[in-house]
Amino acid sequence: MGFLFKFRFLLLTLLRLLFSFLNGNKTCVVCGKDTLLLPLCRNCARETFKIDFTSSRCRFCGKILISTKDTCMECRENSVLKHLDFIFPMYSYRLWNKELLFLWKINGQRSLSYFFAAKVSLALEKLGISFIVPVPPRKGKIAKNGWDQIDELCTLLNVFFGHKILRLLERTTKLQQKKLDRENRLNTIESAYRLLPEKVLEKNLKRMKTCLSDKICIIDDVCTTGSTLEACAKLLKEYGFSQVGALTIFTVD
């Protein structure tokens, strides 16, 4: 990524932070205290959003376990995730976490992009991962809204934290998965994504000095049923990647 792009991106990031300061929430979503740039006070950002690296997790979906078995109840009954070698959800999608994601993803409070990027980078370092594959946005989203939260998150991970982005996938539909129930998500998701054309894939892999034996990690904001991650992982495994994992900021539990 060239110097001019990085300089332009840094300048735009600073402008977005200023815009968020002028137009964003002025109170912490956790404790209600007055804040500046983030809808989180310094203490809640530090204490409430610690990442749990020590608890036992389900070997399929990555959720923190409350039993001594190695899988959660839902995955024992019907696991969707069959092509992922690992998944690491950072936080549960409850209480103020839901409001925080809404402010970032729907309200466009982009000062949260850097906050989440710093947390994701820490998790990626703990997991020993450098190569990340963003879940692509639905067609027309960036043109319509001017941005996509995962696209921006991954660009920040590259520019500020040195992680390498592998743009290998594209979305084929405009349909929003959040509007579908579990059964319809599972029935339609496999056709919603595809690999980029072969020449583009080879160019991207060569540019990032990546080989098929490298560990790669799919990045998304929230795991609801796991169907999106499974569809993307299946494509990457079929292409030839031997180690495919996933990291999400939130998981619905």
Q: pLDDT tens, 28-57?
A: 999 999 988 789 999 999 999 999 999 999
User: How far apart, in whole angstroms, are the C-alpha atoms of residue 112 and residue 104?
Assistant: 6
Average pLDDT over residues 100-109: 92
pTM of the model: 0.89
Q: Which helix or strand (DSSP H or E) is residue 78 part of?
A: helix 73-78
Looking at the predicted structure, is the pLDDT value of residue 95 above 90?
Answer: yes
Average pLDDT over residues 204-233: 94
CA 13 to chain CA centroid, nearest Å: 19
pLDDT at 131: 96
Residues facing 177 on adjacent strands:
none
- Angstrom CA distances, 193 to 79, 164, 210, 222, stand at 20, 21, 22, 17
Token pair 């993307």 is found at 232
- Angstrom CA distances, 51 to 85, 89, 158, 235, stand at 20, 9, 21, 29
CA 231 to chain CA centroid, nearest Å: 15
Rounded (10°) CA dihedral 144, 145, 147, 149:
-120
Looking at the predicted structure, is the pLDDT value of residue 17 above 70?
Answer: no
For 114-168, the pLDDT digits (tens) are 999 999 999 999 999 989 999 999 988 988 988 999 999 999 999 889 999 999 9
